[in-house]
Copies of this chain bind each other. A is one copy, B any other.
Amino acid sequence: MKFIINIILLFCIAVTVKSEDGHELWLRKSKPSAVNIASKGTSETLNIARQELTQNWQGEPGATITLKIVKDKRFKGDGFKLETTGIQANTELGILYGVYEMLRRQQTGQPVSIVISNPSYEHRILNHWDNPNGTIERGYAGYSIFWRNGKDSLTITEQDKKLWTEYARANASIGINGTVLNNVNASQNMITAPYLERVKAIADILRPYGIKTYLAVKFSSPSLLGGIKTSDPLDPEVIQWWHGKVGEIYSIIPDFGGFLVKANSEGQPGPQDFGRTHADGANMLADALKQYDGIVMWRAFVYSPEENDRAKQAYLEFMRFDGMFRENVIIQVKNGPVDFQPREPFSPLFGAMKKTSVMAELQITQEYLGHSIQLVFLAPMWEECLQSDTYQEGPGSTVARATDGSIYPQKHSAIAGVANIGLDNNWCGHPFAQANWYAFGRLAWNNKLSSETIADEWIRQTFLPEDAKEKGITSGDWQQKFLVPVKEMMLQTREAAVNYSMPLGLHHIFAGAHHYGPGPWEAPRGVRPDWTPVYYHRADTLGIGFDRTRKGSDAVSQYQEPLASQFDDPETCPDKYLLWFHHLPWTYEMKNGRILWDELCYSYESGVLQVREFQKIWDQVEPYVDKQRFSEVQSKLRRHYRDARIWKDACLLYFQQYSKLPIPYDIERPENDLEDLMKIRLGWSHHN
């Protein structure tokens, strides 16, 4: 009888790494070395900059760092210059950003060389879909950090202020400089005095960190709040009401950022209710905000249930107004033409609106990407969108360059991300969902950053064990055994999600309402067709996919050549967009020689196998991560895997009714019956 002891010893490491609840995000405390700071001025922002240096210095002990405000035309906005000996910037906020960059480089082991860093976008904004009652639309991390339910909901506590300070610091550390405090499906109450008092308190906390506050407004507020008979944007009384309201807001919050507006979209009121246009509506509000330097972010997410192809409608509605918006209006366009699907081609509005400020709206919260259950790193999706070439001003006219001022002389540049932040102790529900908040901020500052760089930075800051040395974990060990595999995993997660849910250009085949699990069979009576999966996948005995070619809805023509022709022909259309643009026979031969049905089967299968692999990767890093976060992620990956399989089974068994073809026999068989799958409703309970 023999015993093998080594394995036990190795395994025991697992339980010794200190537990963490994730509340510190990527800003985990570590013992600082001494540092001397040379700087002038005593503003709150500079004080924060100095405090951050003092409390987090990991560079040469006793070094002297000079913080200097200069006038240098090489710096754009709050850009800065980093040197080993200090930071220069045109603004105090630039100094603070430089400090965070310096500390990040120290923590991630990057050299602090001379570099000038300028933000890609002037406005880098979080959109919180938080409701006055504390719930969050599409929020999966608990209740709102800004709004509370019930009695004393507007009382401001020390705990509120502490949390808002932490929130502000986290955002500033990655360059975010604006936040919309409430849901785009806005309550008119948000711009009434009691709420504005709370907005002021929030703004006061956020201000030293360089973050402006914005509000989403309801377009019918003049009627609802002002008692005016109309909210017609051309009505003098309405105009006057808005001017008054804006004045009131600025009297309370002098540096208020402006309004975000969802109008004539999914039942929200808007200028079309009064026979006016989106331009009429946006410009009226812009005029009211102009004297305060406020901006209007006007969403292009509009579609009518009567039209034949929802994917075309934002373009059709907004292109006609190009050049007609005020300078302080920015049109906020979702990355894709439909609605934050796991994969969409970029919205054809990007680059096409040449005389208008256009900003991208990305979704950080994982509405269609697994809520806070599935581990999906979104940077690759955003990178894919930002680097997509619109060809609008020739090759290289990427979405990034078409929105950041590189190509068009737009007055404002901006980017928005729908936040995934709630009261959960770890902010985002899933430990890895923090990476998406981080990635949005980093891309907003520098839209050329690669997903891999962002993942690398984030992992190092978030997971490097504080007590590694004591536990005998060398830096090389940790990089090889944790950083490399976890980074590799993160970079694959979004493609995996596409594979097991909506591969080959399929989209919007979620079960209704919750947008978590599969529902390709759903087409309930009384629900508008363009909210049902069958509208989008169009599976029948002949084939599958939405025909958006010139012979179909002709959505392809909203793209600049050569894209229009490329998308129009299934032989040249990228496989990843194939069923977005084409309805093809089940036996259509793919570029790799497989028939479409088989390719669909192998795609779903590969997504499931990828998640299974993620489980293996994660289980193996156990010795290198604290117990609490290890267990949370392990448990979530288990459900992720189960649900990925449910996606595969549901879609393959449902579509097989039409394809009438066998699932290739080298694929693992479905483990559920279709009729059972059609009964389950995954993920209704978000905290499950």
The reply to whether A4 and B595 contact each other, CB–CB distance below 8 Å, is: yes
Query: Do A660 and B11 form a contact, CB below 8 Å, given A619-B665, A638-B670, A642-B671?
Result: yes
Cα distance A638–B619 in the bound complex, in angstroms: 27
**Which one, A157-165, A275-283, A526-534, A583-591, is touching chain B?**
A583-591
Q: How many residues of A contact B (CB 8 A)?
A: 39
Which residue of chain B is the closest to A615 with respect to CB atoms?
B669
Query: CB distance B669 to A3 under 8 Å?
Result: no
User: Cβ of B622 and Cβ of A587 under 8 Å apart?
Assistant: no
Q: Which residues 607-638 of A sit at the B interface, judged by CB distance below 8 A? A: 612, 615-616, 619-620, 622, 635, 637-638
Using Cβ atoms and an 8 Å threshold, which residues of chain B touch A672? 638, 642
> Which residues of B sit under 8 angstroms from A11, Cβ to Cβ?
660-662
Tell me the complex Cα distance, A596–B619, Å: 20
Q: For the complex, is A208 an interface residue (Cβ under 8 Å from B)?
A: no
Q: Do A661 and B615 touch across chains, with their CB atoms under 8 A apart?
A: no
Interface centre among A584, A585, A669, A672 (most CB of B within 10 A): A669
Q: Does A8 contact B (CB under 8 A)?
A: yes
Q: Does A229 reach chain B (CB closer than 8 Å)?
A: no
The A255-279 residues at the B interface (CB cut-off 8 A) are none
* CB <8 Å contact, B638 and A673: yes
Are A638 and B1 in contact (CB-based, < 8 A)? no
A72 within 8 A of B: no
A7 on the interface (CB 8 Å rule)?
yes
The answer, yes or no, to whether A2 is at the interface (CB within 8 Å) is yes
CA distance in complex: A665, B672 (Å): 27
Q: Does A317 contact B (CB under 8 A)?
A: no
Chain B residues whose C-beta falls within 8 Å of the C-beta of A2 in the assembled complex? 587-589
Minimum C-beta distance from A278 to chain B (A):
41
Does A407 have its Cβ within 8 Å of any Cβ on chain B?
Answer: no
Chain B: minimal CB distance from A661 (Å): 6
Residues of B within 8 A of A616 (CB): 665, 668-669
Chain B CB within 8 A of A641 CB:
yes
Do residues A668 and B612 form an inter-chain contact, with CB atoms below 8 A? yes
Please name the residue on chain B nearest to A597 by beta carbon. B7
Q: Is A570 an interface residue (CB 8 A)?
A: yes
24 contacts between A and B (CB under 8 A): A1-B570, A1-B584, A2-B589, A3-B588, A7-B661, A7-B662, A8-B660, A8-B661, A11-B660, A11-B661, A612-B668, A612-B669, A615-B668, A619-B662, A619-B663, A619-B669, A620-B665, A635-B673, A638-B670, A638-B671, A638-B672, A638-B673, A641-B671, A642-B671
The 9 closest A-B pairs by CB, nearest first: A615-B669, A2-B589, A3-B587, A638-B671, A641-B671, A4-B587, A635-B673, A642-B671, A4-B595
